[in-house]
Structure 1
Amino acid sequence: MRRLTAEDIQALIRLMGDSDPRTATFARQKLLEAPVEDVLPHLKHAVTDADPLIRGRARLFLEELRLADLNQRWERLASQSDSVLDLETGAFLVAKYRYPEVDMEPYRRWLDAQAEAVAPHIDPSLSMYHTIGLLNRQLFEKAGLQGDDVRYYDPDNSCINRVIDRKRGIPITLSVIYILVGRRLGLPLDGVGLPGHFLVRYSGEETVWIDPFHRGRLLTREDCIRHVRAMGYPFREHFLKPMKARAILARMLNNLHRIYVETDQPLQAEHIKGFQDILTQRG
């Protein structure tokens, strides 16, 4: 079957506004058969069409295609083995749900820039504490990242682009940023999910835990155990072990899902649950 041309796609979009339901359904089905990347640019233009019927149907279809495209991206990511599944790709996919139009490349370059600012000062002879101090200074003093105590349950706090924009976030998103910058520098960083909190683990000459929500505060094993018990949980050794990228992303999605449930946004919650299912069932 030949690939639809731009003219074909534009004509089919207009036919979606036809008063005959069968014609509109036929046009929609033909568009669904076309590659998403071919159709999306034309749909974005159609949502401003002068015809309100075309405009309305194009807007609904655009949302449907965006969701289908995101599902496909999650499928591709989830199909990778845990040894290669990329945390950075997944973190930006989480953000793409709320910000489908936003170009995420500038935010990747921001991560690059933070690492580049620290790199000249990193030396193998430095102690791990000195190295952590350099990264903390860059991210929390110079870049201005901090925990968001005021709007903790804002969905934007689960979106890495908005955390970078606003310089505020929740523990897991700030920790992911810390890890992504640190790994650009070759630092041995991993995510650690405690009950009710998220930390970064630095495995150097000794192991220490870093709390990006509190400006990179350093914690000992005993500090972490006290936190777990203060949350009302018995301590389990696995709480302090590094999490794989898949598990970190699943927790990010779970946070966003819970926010949508608690704010009575069932459709959004259902979409996020779909991404969770893709990610965990393929793992």
Structure 2
Amino acid sequence: MHQNAEISALLTLIDDPDEEVFTTVSTRIVHYGKGIIPNLENLWENTLSEAVQERIEMIIHKLHYSDLVRDLTEWRDSAYHDLLFGALLVARFQYPDLQTSPVIQEIEKIRRNVWLELNSFLTPLEQANVISSIVYNYYNLKGAEIAYKNPDDFFMHKVLQTRKGNTLSNGILYLVLAELLAIPVKAINIPQQFVLAFFNEDYDAGTYNGNPQKKIHFYVDATSGQPFTHKDIENYFKRISVPLVPSYFKPMNAVRVIQVLLEELARCFDEPAKMYKHNELLQLSDLLSE
């Protein structure tokens, strides 16, 4: 961006010791949009003060965050909510310069490998076994229960790079592949878990008035790709002393899945110095409810 007189004046005020002045200055800089980032990066490179560099980094973060708010709002308001695109938007919170093409290409490779092993005569369980064989054995995807020490476990591009994710990120990858392959797998709202369910092909959440559980063949643990039964689910509910009600088996749509991703990711940033990220992620989740 061309450095006009106002921009030059604003940049010189970044080191003002008065926090009120700095807040006003940073707000005005953010108003210029992402085009001002090269100016800020140049200033950062020519600044010796670590305190000023931290201020510059925070302004750049605010610029990226403002951009992300706009893009996530557009995704929310679109006619179709592409789950992969939503997950990549979440990854941009931590990696604002993320290139999405390599991610899409890698997922297409996995999809094609699965598709080559599928045919119209397979049962749902056989379909699940094909997906698990390719994704967890051939592709060697590893999984673990959700922990909050490493935010990278929540980001789709990092899961593909490291072949390791948590229940939630692996589950989203599984859902994306299933949708691309026209296999009726959905995430359901089991308490304290992210569980995938293989639904009957004729199930329509918008028109079916019965208990959705009756339309589920079986469930899948996204950490390992292993299927499990209705009996396993019933035992889990008994163990946590929660009544087995139909609402827990209704599929979550893509917007709700991304909300869960944002809410869980926010828990990685509970330290005081990172609490602003925690709050921003919850704000993004709230944005999807509007």
**Equivalent-residue separation in structure 2 for 1:254 and 1:204 (angstroms):** 30
TM superposition shift of 1:275: 0.5
**Distance in 2 between residues matched to 1:257 and 1:150, nearest whole Å:** 12
When residues 20 and 147 of structure 1 are mapped into structure 2, their CA distance, relative to the original with a 3 A threshold, is closer
Task: Indicate the percent of aligned positions where both proteins have the same amino acid.
Answer: 18
Given the superposition, is the C-alpha separation of residues 19 and 89 from structure 1 closer, same or farther in structure 2, using an over 3 Å criterion?
closer
Shift of 1:106: 1.4
Deviations 1:79-135 (A, max 9, x none): 235xx2222121112211122233232122211110011222221122222222111
Is the contact between residue 175 and residue 186 of structure 2 (CA under 8 Å) also seen in structure 1?
yes
Once the two structures are superposed, the pairs formed by residues 1-283 of structure 1 within 5 Å of their partners are: 6-8=1-3, 12=7, 15-18=10-13, 31-34=29-32, 36-50=33-47, 52=49, 55-80=53-78, 84-148=80-144, 153-204=149-200, 207-213=217-223, 215-261=224-270, 263-264=271-272, 265-280=274-289, 282=290
| Contact 2:265–2:281 (Cα < 8 Å) also in 1 | yes
- Aligned alpha-carbon RMSD (Å): 3.0
Query: Does the CA contact (< 8 Å) of 1:12 and 1:28 recur in 2?
Result: no
Name the CA shift for 1:135/1:31 in 2 (closer, same or farther; >3 Å).
same
Query: Quick one: distance in 1 between partners of 2:14 and 2:221?
Result: 58
Q: Give the SS at the match of 2:187.
A: strand
1:153–1:50 distance in 2 versus 1, CA, 3 Å = closer
CA 1:14 to 1:109, structure 2 compared with 1: closer, same or farther past 3 Å?
farther
Unpaired runs of 5+ in structure 1?
Answer: 1-5
- The answer to whether the Cα contact below 8 Å between 1:190 and 1:242 also exists between their aligned partners in 2 is yes
Q: CA deviation at 1:43?
A: 3.3
The TM-score, its normalising length taken from structure 1, stands at: 0.82
Is contact 1:190–1:201 with CA below 8 Å preserved after alignment? yes
Question: Gaps (5+ residues) in structure 2?
Answer: 202-215
* Cα distance in 2, alignment partners of residues 20 and 139 from structure 1: 51
Residues matched between the structures, number: 271
Which SS does the other structure have where 1:208 is aligned? Answer: strand
Q: 1:268 to 1:224 in 2, by over 3 A?
A: same
Contact 2:146 2:167 in 1 (8 A): no
Q: Which amino acid aligns with 1:210?
A: V
Are the aligned partners of 1:15 and 1:24 in contact in 2 as well (CA < 8 Å)? no
List per-residue Cα deviations over 1:35-81 (Å, max 9, x = no partner): x3423344344432356487555323211111111121222222235
Offset of residue 30 of structure 1: 5.9
Shift in CA distance, 44/113, structure 1 to aligned 2, threshold 3 Å: farther
The code of the aligned residue for 1:60 comes to M
The CA deviation at 1:148 is 2.3
CA distance in 2, matches of 1:19, 1:128: 60
Asked if the contact 2:14/2:56 (under 8 Å) is kept, the reply is no
AA matched with 2:44:
V
Whole-angstrom distance in 2 between the partners of 1:188 and 1:10: 58
